[in-house]
Amino acid sequence: MVTDVKQAVRTTACASCGAQVPIFSRSSIQAVCPFCRSTLVRTDMTWESIGEMAVLADDLSPFHLGLRGKYQKKDFTIIGRLQQKFGEGVWNEWLLQLGNSRTCWLGEGSGSFYLTVPSTSSESLPEFSSLSLGQQVLLDGKYYTVSNIENASCIATEGEIPFVATPGEFADFIDLVGEGGSFASLDYSDDLPKLYTGKTISLDELEFESRNGTPLQKKVTEALRCSGCGNAVSLRNPASLLVACSSCGVANNVSASGKLVTAYSQTTAKLQLHIPLGSTGVLQGHSYEVIGVLRLSGGGDIWDEYLLYNPSEGVRWLVCSQGHWTFVRPATTPSLVTTKISYNSRIYKHFADYRTIVVSVLGEFYWQVKRGDIVDYSDYICPPYIISREKSKKEIVWSQGTYLEGAQVAAAFNVMEARRKGNGINQPSPAILGYITAFLLSMVVVILADMLVLPKNQTITFNHLEMNKNANASELVSEPFVLKASHSFFKVYANTNLQNQWVSLEYRLTNQETGETRVMNREVSYYSGYDSDGSWSEGSRGDSALLSNVTAGTYVLEVNGETDANVRPDVNVSIKAIHGESSSNFWLAFFVLALGPVAAGLNKYFFEKRRWDNSDHPWSDS
Ligand SMILES: [Zn+2]
Ligand SMILES: [Zn+2]
């Protein structure tokens, strides 16, 4: 309670009890006497009492009147609160006084926090009835998307606020979200709509001053007991509005006074959970406790969503679908480009739209989730990332998730690793780059080995042999030639002009130094013609003969050729030899080594195909 009269701009005597009521802001119109709870309203000259203020709902808010802190290095004090009742819970607007004159609103609801200030728009503000969820609205030069449509009533106020709020009065409100966490709200409680703009903030950004040690602990008024079985229930998240008892399954609404009231009964005995409720684990550097689990069904699948909570980080989700895990955090509204969205400089492709239904509820939730609740999802992926849009009757919520390996989740929460089935929506596809790199490196080695290690082949060309009708045999003795290195083969090629003829060739390769002679005999023939089946041919005009392991040295090659005595036309045989190594296995190596990347590429292709065949855009359609 703000009782520090010295800080107040002025004080006014309560019209009801006469006590000095501090007024901190010059723009305040309504104040509630902290002593007798009279509602004081400022008239031209004085503050008049208009009767007793209604009682605030005990919503376990971490804030209270008089709480001080720093925001962007400026001191602030909470000087007022407007508490409103929405369909599914309580929403507080805390009035923060920054310095001596400025004020802003800290909105608190569903575990999220918003800082806003009254704003004007050069565009005329839209009529309430003209707005629908998801609609884009231009406000003060910026585009916002309608994220929430509410009809809310004022429960009560405390401290001072810059307008008159009447408990029990209903009004329409529109929440809008813009890019980069920007936030706007339209208030239709008066004839003319009022615009507030600001941004979503985290509790860390408001450096609250410690008062009595821990000012931000939730106020526990009494032990909570399950309305179904009477077992003690502890709420981890002060913003929780529903808790489903793990003993009897009864789902309890957390009433404004902090009592548990039966919302519905359900059987959760058969709910086999991979991570038990209450488990804690460290993910992405923060410790989270599993405080709730939703089992959902949709699109032919059933999956579990674990609600995680960390007092300073807020809520996160860990989704387990067919053994594939995704760690999910709230996201700001991304920019939508037809079937793609851009978010934090990544492009996500539309994957699927599907409808989900809540099958079972266990633990605590920051909204009054019911079995049978229907939410329409749109998933966009950029593996390992995913962005989901959840649209319920009243709200559009965006979230961003990251694929986690099963082993990582198992280690974090000390549980068994879940068995994976099929491909996860945002599961990264198999790596291929490593295979390609390995292939390219291996090929470089093969090419270098070819170039550097294997010596060049040596080619020797000899004279021709000629045979004609006068001489059906011919002999060729080469000039001595030097084979410079010892090689694995010496191969003699004969190229002839045979036509319906044969020639026999005898090769004699003599090493001039050792006198050793190696001999090969070959018969070459070629016949062709026409018959009733068309043209035919037999044999070949070319021939090759191989000697293996021929050492370096000076050699002479003799070739003796002989053909048919009635040779016609003349036979001409040209001779050449190649001394060298068996051709390297370059292409063999190429194909063998390419198997790795090709297999990896096919694997990746079929992985992506299986993934997308489960989407709204299957590859098999195109
Ligand atoms: Zn009073
Ligand atoms: Zn119970």
Average pLDDT, the chain: 86
Q: Which ligand is nearest to the CA of 51?
A: 1
| Residues contacting 502, CB < 8 A, separation 6+ | 523, 524, 525, 539, 563, 564
Q: What is the pLDDT at residue 150?
A: 85
Q: What is the pLDDT at residue 1?
A: 43
- In the 8-state DSSP scheme, what is residue 5? G
Q: What is the pLDDT at residue 161?
A: 95
Closest CA to 237 of 224, 226, 248, 250: 224
pLDDT at 3 over 50: no
25-39, 197-211, 535-549: range with lowest mean pLDDT: 197-211
| Residues contacting 478, CB < 8 A, separation 6+ | 460, 462, 463, 556, 557, 558
Write 86-93 long-range contacts (CB < 8 A, 24+): 86/150, 86/152, 87/150, 87/151, 87/394, 88/241, 88/367, 88/368, 89/59, 89/241, 89/367, 89/368, 90/57, 90/59, 90/155, 90/256, 91/152, 92/59, 92/61, 92/63
Q: What is the pLDDT at residue 220?
A: 40
Q: What is the pLDDT at residue 311?
A: 80
Q: What is the pLDDT at residue 217?
A: 44
Distance 154 CA to ligand 1 centre (A): 21
Q: Which domains does the chain have, with CATH numbers?
A: 5-208 (no CATH), 224-413 (no CATH), 458-580 (2.60.120.380)
To the nearest whole percent, how much of the chain has pLDDT over 90? 41
Distance 44 CA to ligand 1 centre (A): 20
The pLDDT tens digits for 199-216 are 988 777 888 776 444 444
Distance 36 CA to ligand 1 centre (A): 4
Q: Which residues surround ligand 1, an ion (CB under 5 A)?
A: 14, 16-17, 33, 35-36, 38
Distance 254 CA to ligand 2 centre (A): 14
Distance 26 CA to ligand 1 centre (A): 20
- Global pTM exceeds 0.85: no
pLDDT at 455 over 70: no
Helices (H) and strands (E) in the chain, counts: 3, 42
Q: What is the pLDDT at residue 58?
A: 73
Q: Which ligand is nearest to the CA of 224?
A: 2
**Is the separation of the CB atoms in 542 and 496 below 8 Å?**
yes
Distance 313 CA to ligand 2 centre (A): 29
Report, as an integer, the average pLDDT of 325-340: 84
Report, as an integer, the average pLDDT of 259-269: 83
pLDDT at 397 over 50: yes
Residue 46 or 61, more confident: 46
Distance 232 CA to ligand 2 centre (A): 8
CA distance 472 to 615: 80
Q: What is the pLDDT at residue 436?
A: 85
Q: What is the pLDDT at residue 221?
A: 39
**Is the separation of the CB atoms in 478 and 557 below 8 Å?**
yes
Residue 589 or 125, more confident: 125
Torsions phi, psi for 595 (to 5 deg) = -55, -40
Q: Which two tokens stand for residue 115?
A: 């800082």
Q: Which residues surround ligand 2, an ion (CB under 5 A)?
A: 226, 228-229, 245, 247-248, 250
Report, as an integer, the average pLDDT of 4-30: 83
CA distance 387 to 484: 70
CA distance 509 to 383: 68
Distance 296 CA to ligand 2 centre (A): 22
Q: What is the pLDDT at residue 452?
A: 66
pLDDT band at residue 256, thresholds of 50, 70 and 90?
Answer: low
Distance 399 CA to ligand 1 centre (A): 47
* Strand segments (E) across 478-552: 481-483, 487-496, 501-511, 517-531, 534-539, 542-550
| CA distance to 108, 112, 227, 373, per residue, from 91 (Å) | 6, 10, 24, 22
Report, as an integer, the average pLDDT of 183-206: 88
Q: Which ligand is nearest to the CA of 16?
A: 1
Q: What is the pLDDT at residue 111?
A: 61
Residue 595 or 204, more confident: 595
Q: What is the pLDDT at residue 294?
A: 94
| CA distance to 2, 6, 67, 94, 261, per residue, from 210 (Å) | 16, 21, 9, 18, 33
Q: What is the pLDDT at residue 219?
A: 41
Query: In this structure, how many other beta carbons lie within 10 angstroms of the beta carbon of residue 441?
Result: 10
- For the chain, the distance separating the N- and C-terminal CA atoms, rounded to the nearest angstrom, is 67
